[in-house]
Amino acid sequence: MTSQTVQLARANFHGAEPYFPFYELMQQAIGQFNEGRYAASAISTGTAVEVLIATTIREVGRARGEHESEYASVLNAPLRNQVEHHLPHYANCVVDLNDPHNPLAAWWSGGYVTRNRVVHEAHRPTRAESAAALDGAQAVVAALKAGLLAELDTEEVGHQLQWGPTGESD
C-alpha cells in the first residue's frame, strides 16, 4: 500500500475526504470493466458521476458559507436540473447539453444514457460503450476540477478532488 493510499484511507476514516465515495465507485467501475462486467461498470460509472456532482455542489456550498438548506434544495432537484442549471454556478464550468464537445454534454448523452439503458431496459453494453462511459467520467472530472481551481472561493474544493492527473510529478 502506498503512502498516498494510506493517507486517503485515513482521511476517509476521519471524515476529511469528501470525494471518497466517488473514488470508491470509480475504482469499482474500473475493476468491473477489467473483469468484462460492462453492465455493472456502466452503472457504477454513472453513479460515480452523480456522486461527484452532488459532492461538488455540497462542498462548494459549504466553502462559500451557504446555509445547508440552500445547497440541499439544489441536491434535491432532478439530476438534469443540477447539471444544467446549478453546476455552472457551483463548479465554474460551462454546461451546454446540446454541445457534443462539452464534457458534461458528452457524458450526459453517452455514459449517462448507457447507464439508464442498462438500468431501465436491461441493455447489455459493449466494451466500447463501457469504455466511453469511463472516458466521459474522466472528462467530467477534468472539467469540474479545472473550474473549481479557477476561482478563489472554490479552489480548495478543487484541491480536494484528487482524481486523475494532478499536473505534478509524483
Read off the pLDDT of each residue in 145-168 and give the average, rounded to a whole number: 87
Sign of CA dihedral 146, 150, 151, 153: positive
pLDDT digits (tens, 9 = 90+) for 17-35: 899 999 999 999 999 999 9
pLDDT digits (tens, 9 = 90+) for 35-50: 999 999 999 999 999 9
Q: What is 32-71 written as a DSSP string?
A: HHHTT-HHHHHHHHHHHHHHHHHHHHHHHHHHTT--HHHH
Q: What is the DSSP letter of 153?
A: T
Q: How confident is the model at residue 169 (pLDDT cuts 50, 70, 90)?
A: very low
pLDDT at 16: 76
Domains of the chain in sequence order: 17-160 (1.20.120)
| Chain Cα centroid distance, residue 164 | 11
Q: What angle do CA 107, 116, 131 make, to 5 degrees?
A: 50
Q: What grid cell was written down for 121?
A: 431496459
